[in-house]
Structure 1
Amino acid sequence: MLKSRRNALIGATLIGAFFATNAYAETTLNALFMAQAAYSEADVRAMTEAFSKANPDVKVNLEFVPYEGLHDKTVLAQGSGGGYDVVLFDVIWPAEYASNKVLVDVTPRITEDMKKGVLPGAWTTVQYDGASYGMPWILDTKYLFYNKEILEKAGIKTPPKTWDELAEQAKTIKDKGLLATPIAWSWSQAEAAVCDYTTLVSAYGGDFLKDGKPDFQTGGGLDALKYMVSSYTSGISNPNSKEFLEEDVRKLFENGEAAFALNWTYMYNLANAGPDSKVAGKVGVVPAPGVAGKSEVSAVNGSMGLGITATSKHPDEAWNYITFMTSQAVQNQYAKLSLPIWASSYEDPAVSKDQEELIGAAKQSLAAMYPRPTTPKYQELSVALQQAIQEALLGQTSPEDALKTAAENSGL
């Protein structure tokens, strides 16, 4: 009796030890994502669930914050000694993150198949000073969306190829009483405004920096801001643009209240086929326009990557998760939300189905993506530019003085 009880106790102890060991063996990753644009929260959760099914010993805790909180949340967690294993980061941050050792250099982990298979332009999203700090995930730029029905009613046969043509077509639509303010922009005092500004800088052939110093206050950089101010003060642009982020622009456009809008890839399928869109089936998309004699099209590099934080205690599991999320199979499955980083994906009929127009625009735009300045002090520079754009739009100062002050406040 005593012997059997002792054996039972030993058995229970061994079973307890077994479960304790297996529970301990489960790795938990904390991942930080963006709660807007490109892949939705539901999509990221679905992708992660698929990863967990294939990797039952790894649990992934997901956290979503608005884009505006992504940078600071990452940096603050780093300073507190951890928090996240995997973070989503913007193309503008690798210089800062590398300089401050926020992300791990994953160059040795990148295979030859990855190097050959991913579009060359996508790699620039995660690279700084010859090293890679993650895998590109969201390949994105801003396109010019237009309402085909409104243009037809206005007698406009083709969408604008230059920014001056955009202003002319918007004036025609306004003068015919079709819409009071035909253009919508994301010009809130946030990174969104810098993205629109960068698109125009690329069109006008401007430079952000020259020999490491600000150079946007003259030439194409100044022309870009002058265009924004002219579009705003002439009455062809929605006056609320100065407070809009991209989601505000999408909702306005989907409601039929804008003939033209500059926005990211994700808006195409939501506006053209979304259940809440009033303009479904009427959405056209072309590359952002160029400037006669200077450019055919314009584009900003708005891509994002997934990286491993320097404080992660599970870098191998984190890398496995990143390679799953950025894999060609997963990217192709969700291609209606964000175009794949893999070159051969564009030959897949399932990827291009029902978005041939977008793919056509992407082939030109992705090849013309213009980078925001690569500098560890990007955050300071961006804040200075955001303020300059707002002050110029509101007429508080001239474009010349606004950019001159931005250059002085850029920290460069």
Structure 2
Amino acid sequence: MKQRTLWSAALVMGLALTAGCGSAAGPGGESGGSAGKLVVWDWKSGDAKAAGYVAKAKADFAKKHPGVTVEFVAQPFDQYYTLLGTAIQAGKGPDVLLFNGGGKIRDRADALAPLDSYLTEDRQRLAGWDAFAKDGKTYAAPVTLQGHPLYYNKALYEQAGVAAPAKTWDDFVKNCGVITQKTGAKCFAVGNKEGYGIQFFLSAMGSAVLTPQEYDDWIAGKRDWSSADVKRIFELWKQANDAGLNNEGANSTAMFNDAFALFQSAKTADVIGLMSDVGHWKDFAEFLPADKVGVMPAPVVNPAATPSLPYDGGIGYAVAKWSKDPKLAADLVRSLTSHDALAAFYADSGAIASDTTIDVSASGPAAKTIVSELKSGKPALHVALSSKTTDLMGRLSQELLSGSVTVDQVVRQLADSEKTG
């Protein structure tokens, strides 16, 4: 997300108009599905850190299909799903598309070709499939694993005389007070301008609050928004802000990349970050010594809870239903998730790839800790929600921090949102 291919407003409008007339074309008027050519839309291929990954994937595909041209069209992330919606409405566009796992792809599954019959050989090697599945069918192959580790700055902890991360929430809050008093750093770096902060908090803290059964029920779609434990998560969200644990102006701070910059510059001691190629262990190690970037379990709130690393498939490539050769397009997806390509993505960007056979032993301690926790990890709570519900949750989380709604009002509206689809 750091580097984006920027289009002028005129070009974006032109794409929308063209798609509305029956051709979802990319820059230069190229649309997918032509003989001997595949077109890919994503927001990663224009990133310098993904150059090696794309090159490896293209080389792998070229060995199998030397006569087929592959064109990557890097779209701006902040407009990606709008542009994609225009293509879906027109029923024409690229052959292969990049998606975030969860609601973003599930809400658009009707426009995609199921990949289950094409990718059977990759099932064991790759993790994160569930984030790209709906109603028993898989619509994309995972490229990365996306999760929400709780990172901490070991240097600030040491400066404050805090020997190790707290194991309980109450002790965590006490430690935050000590760290702020002795270093001047706030506890949490929170960016909730776009409503992302509550998503990170829900998933990072959820396993420390919900019982294992409540957690599994949530992922399975049997969510009780009125339960005391679910409400407790939102109470903690408000408590942390009211107690001064967060940076000033959390609701006006962008997650990408202002909140992460606060942690990188040692203005906060902790941040709920990512496992992908931004806001993650390698990104932080560019500003902090790698051995000072720590990863801690979520501090326990409910003694009956079992904290675990929340993660799912992060991003994955799918095949559009309108592709003239879905088998060929699916073979390109296989190349985009080949071992060598994903190993290059991990090496260059630091993203935790979906390929569980990649060796991370030479990485910093934070990466090794994250990978060691994958086996016991569970899907992230917010990824199980629809886009409609997460959007509403973002708005309500801002109102909760500002004091204009209560926790009871928040969970009631979220429950109603799920009932109405």
Note whether the superposition's TM-score is higher than 0.5. Answer: yes
| Whole-angstrom distance in 2 between the partners of 1:214 and 1:91 | 20
| 1:268 matches 2:281 | yes
Residue by residue over 1:188-229, the C-alpha shift from the partner in whole angstroms, topping out at 9 and shown as x without a partner, is: 333453232233233211568599675224322211111010
Contact 2:382–2:390 (Cα < 8 Å) also in 1 = no
Which residue type is aligned with residue 140 of structure 2? G
Q: Corresponding residue for 2:311?
A: 301
Which residue type is aligned with residue 184 of structure 1? A
SS at match of 1:164: helix
Q: Rate the CA distance shift 1:127–1:64 in 2: closer, same or farther, 3 A.
A: same
Q: Corresponding residue for 1:116?
A: 124
Which residue of the other structure, out of 171, 176, 180, is the alignment partner of 1:174?
A: 180
Q: Corresponding residue for 2:416?
A: 408
Q: Corresponding residue for 1:9?
A: none
| 1:364 matches 2:380 | no
Contact 1:173–1:179 (Cα < 8 Å) also in 2 = yes
Which residue of the other structure, out of 355, 361, 365, is the alignment partner of 1:342?
A: 355
Which residue type is aligned with residue 282 of structure 2? N
| Structure showing greater Rg | 1
Which residue of the other structure, out of 255, 264, 280, is the alignment partner of 1:254?
A: 264
Which residue type is aligned with residue 357 of structure 2? S
Map 1:200-215; keep pairs closer than 5 Å: 200-205=205-210, 206=214, 215=224
| Whole-angstrom distance in 1 between the partners of 2:171 and 2:97 | 41
| 1:129 matches 2:135 | yes
Deviates more, 1:134-143 or 1:298-307: 298-307
SS at match of 2:296: strand
Q: Rate the CA distance shift 1:183–1:296 in 2: closer, same or farther, 3 A.
A: same
Which residue type is aligned with residue 291 of structure 1? V
Q: Corresponding residue for 2:42?
A: 33
Q: Corresponding residue for 2:229?
A: 220
Shift in Å, 1:323: 1.2
SS at match of 2:37: strand
Q: Rate the CA distance shift 1:408–1:235 in 2: closer, same or farther, 3 A.
A: same
Q: Sequence identity, in percent?
A: 19
Contact 1:141–1:365 (Cα < 8 Å) also in 2 = no
Q: Rate the CA distance shift 1:298–1:168 in 2: closer, same or farther, 3 A.
A: farther
Map 1:83-162; keep pairs closer than 5 Å: 83-93=93-103, 94-98=105-109, 101-111=110-120, 113-119=121-127, 122-162=128-168
Q: Rate the CA distance shift 1:342–1:289 in 2: closer, same or farther, 3 A.
A: farther
Shift in Å, 1:157: 0.7
SS at match of 1:50: helix
Residue by residue over 1:246-285, the C-alpha shift from the partner in whole angstroms, topping out at 9 and shown as x without a partner, is: 422222211121111110024211211x2xx255552222
SS at match of 1:381: helix
Deviates more, 1:135-144 or 1:213-222: 213-222
| 1:315 matches 2:323 | no
Which residue type is aligned with residue 179 of structure 1? G
Shift in Å, 1:133: 1.0
| Whole-angstrom distance in 1 between the partners of 2:222 and 2:293 | 41
For structure 2, the 5+ residue unaligned runs are 1-32
Deviates more, 1:328-337 or 1:213-222: 213-222
SS at match of 1:125: helix
Shift in Å, 1:64: 3.0
Contact 2:146–2:274 (Cα < 8 Å) also in 1 = yes
SS at match of 1:295: coil
For structure 1, the 5+ residue unaligned runs are 1-23
Which residue of the other structure, out of 183, 193, 202, is the alignment partner of 2:198?
A: 193
Contact 1:183–1:258 (Cα < 8 Å) also in 2 = yes
Which residue type is aligned with residue 388 of structure 1? L
Contact 2:207–2:298 (Cα < 8 Å) also in 1 = no
Which residue type is aligned with residue 332 of structure 2? Y
- Computed over aligned residues only, the root mean square deviation of the Cα atoms, in angstroms, reads 2.8
Shift in Å, 1:185: 2.2
| TM-score, normalised with respect to structure 2 | 0.79
Contact 1:27–1:58 (Cα < 8 Å) also in 2 = yes
| Whole-angstrom distance in 1 between the partners of 2:132 and 2:311 | 12
| 1:63 matches 2:69 | no
Contact 2:195–2:397 (Cα < 8 Å) also in 1 = no
Residue by residue over 1:293-338, the C-alpha shift from the partner in whole angstroms, topping out at 9 and shown as x without a partner, is: 1334244335222111112234233222221121122222332422
Residue by residue over 1:83-135, the C-alpha shift from the partner in whole angstroms, topping out at 9 and shown as x without a partner, is: 2222222221343223xx12110110123x3122223xx12122222211121
Which residue type is aligned with residue 257 of structure 1? K
Q: Corresponding residue for 2:335?
A: 324
Residue by residue over 1:3-46, the C-alpha shift from the partner in whole angstroms, topping out at 9 and shown as x without a partner, is: xxxxxxxxxxxxxxxxxxxxx997333323235xxx98123333
Residue by residue over 1:346-389, the C-alpha shift from the partner in whole angstroms, topping out at 9 and shown as x without a partner, is: xx3xx2203243222332256322344687x8122112211221
| Whole-angstrom distance in 2 between the partners of 1:357 and 1:280 | 8
| 1:233 matches 2:242 | yes
Q: Corresponding residue for 2:12?
A: none
| Whole-angstrom distance in 2 between the partners of 1:366 and 1:257 | 33
Which stretches of structure 1, 4 residues or more, deviate above 4 A after TM superposition? 206-214, 278-281
Q: Rate the CA distance shift 1:81–1:393 in 2: closer, same or farther, 3 A.
A: same
Contact 1:298–1:368 (Cα < 8 Å) also in 2 = yes
| TM-score, normalised with respect to structure 1 | 0.80
